Amino acid sequence: MDTFIQLTVDALTLGSVYALIALGYTLVYGVLKLLNFAHGDVFMVGSFIGFGTLQLLGGSSHPVVPTWLLLILVTLAGMAGCAVLGVVIERFAYRPLRDAPRIAPLISALGVSFFLVNSMQLLFGATPRTYDTFSLSNGALYYRGIDIGNVRVPLLRIITIVSAFVLMVVLWFLVNRTRTGKAMRATSFDREAAAMMGIDIDRVIVFTFVLGSALAGAAGVLFAMRVPTQVTIGFIAGLKGFTAAVIGGIGSIPGAMAGGLLLGFAESYTQGYISTKWSDLFVFSLLIAFMIFRPQGLLGRADIRKV
């Protein structure tokens, strides 16, 4: 039972991060029908922005603000930095190709991905960077927490899971309870009709990128609070986020959340109960299985085409 509880905590932690990344993919796809393959690298940049902010605020050994405030500021910095990056990417890499064949922005997205990785490598080198949250909190983020049975759920895990869920709730509220969210949903349903109804499509698309990239930035910071970050982490994280979005139903926000959590559970339980060697194999086999048997994903809509 202890193993099950521990693996579930691991799954929720991992799944929350995947869900945040998947949301970015699904938001952009929903509005633009574009698979933004640079999204995983935006996640990576977010983790580095968080690291840089942490150093500016005194680092893990001499922080100039209390730990709780430091973590909030680092997360906000990651989100803000990535939001700006998202706007820049949209403006220069995707907007000029909006009316081009669908493969063109896809190729552009791949180019942006390589550009980001190599730029970061030139700027920061390939050495892993650690937030060293252990030293930052004198171990409190690891030793303190809540006990479920014999399993201690450390504070850092709780922060990761709760922060991710709060962000998902905020996103749901923005998309479903605000005028801008309504405009986003209208644009995703039918872009031309939305434009004819007076919706500023450019503004909606920019806002979508702001939201998606900010979530990726948050995911990057939450991830790097627990493990070292380096310029290569974006590839696998992006791939898994994309897998989560597809499994959940690309274009569906609740689907992306569900897909991310499902992926986290699949990975964690496979490592725990089957074999540590097989987790990636299982996860990507799940992707293939969904594509064959349920291509619309868990919560996506099956496309109806007039014949």
Partner 1 sequence: MRKGVALLLTLTATAFVAATAQAGHRAAAAQTASISCKSTMKIAFVTPLTGGAGFLGQEQSSWAKYAVKTLAPKLGLKIQLVLGDTPVEQGPAPAQALAQKYVADKSVVGILGPSTSGAVAASSQTYFAAGLAHISPSATRTSLTKGSPLEATAAFLRVVPGDYIQGPSDANFMISQLKVKKVVILDFQEPYSVGLADAVETTLKAKGVTTIRLSAPNTTTDYSSFVTKVPNDADIVFFPTQKPPDAQTFAQQLLEQGKKAKVFGGDGSNDSSAFKAAGSYVSNFAPDITGIKADAGIIAGWKKDNPGKPVGSFGPPSYGAVQVLLSAIKLACNADQGVLKARHDVLRHVKQVVIKNWILGGTFKFSTKSNDPLNAKFYIFQIQSDGSYKLVG
Residues that bind partner 1 (CB under 8 A): 3, 6-7, 10, 13-14, 121, 125-128, 130, 134, 139, 142-143, 151-152, 154, 156-157, 223, 226-228, 230, 232-233, 236, 267-268, 271-272, 275-277, 279-280
The one-letter amino acid code at 201 reads I
Minimum Å distance from CB 42 to partner 1?
A: 17
Minimum Å distance from CB 244 to partner 1?
A: 15
Find, among 102, 77, 103, 105, the residue nearest to 91 by Cα. 105
Find, among 39, 199, 196, 47, the residue nearest to 105 by Cα. 39
**Is the CB of 115 or the CB of 142 nearer to partner 1?**
142
Residue with tokens 């689907």: 255
Minimum Å distance from CB 104 to partner 1?
A: 24
- Counting Cα atoms < 13 Å in the Cβ hemisphere of 273 gives 16
Minimum Å distance from CB 278 to partner 1?
A: 9
Minimum Å distance from CB 282 to partner 1?
A: 12
**Is the CB of 58 or the CB of 128 nearer to partner 1?**
128
**Residue count of the chain:** 307
Residue with tokens 């700006």: 84
DSSP string, 91-116: IIIIGGGTTS-THHHHHHHHHHHHHH
**Is the CB of 127 or the CB of 192 nearer to partner 1?**
127
**Is the CB of 160 or the CB of 188 nearer to partner 1?**
160
**Is the CB of 237 or the CB of 247 nearer to partner 1?**
237
17: CB partners within 8 A, 6+ apart:
160, 164, 219, 222, 223, 237, 260, 264
